[in-house]
Amino acid sequence: MIGFYDSDDQQRLRSVIDRAIEDGYADIDELHLRTANGEERVVEGNAELVENDDDSTLLRGVIHDITARKERQRELTRTYDLMTNMETLADAGAWEYDPESETLTLT
């Protein structure tokens, strides 16, 4: 399983597993993996120790694919940076009006 993760993230995943075993629970921050069919994905999740009815202990983990969310965040950042650069180059600004507070903000 660990072999699916980028080499840089494999040690971080091992640390998460160790922490979950020691503390009973650990969050899995952003990790990068390659699926069996070669797709690159970004995931996050958690791992926890679970006791079975026969008193054995199991480490259970759940990951969530956050690839699309990360792509949207990158696009939003790129768009913001582009707009900021356009304002600077054009020596222009923008304004925003909040009708609830009746506040006008100029940039």
Contact partners, residue 105, CB within 8 Å, separation at least 6: 95, 96, 97, 98
* DSSP string across 27-46: EEEEEEEE-TTS-EEEEEEE
Is pLDDT above 80 for 97?
Answer: yes
Q: Write down the pTM of the prediction.
A: 0.71
Residue 95 pLDDT? 81
Spatial CA neighbour of 4 closest among 50, 44, 53, 41:
41
pLDDT in tens, 21-36: 999 999 999 999 999 9
* Greatest alpha-carbon span in the chain: 71
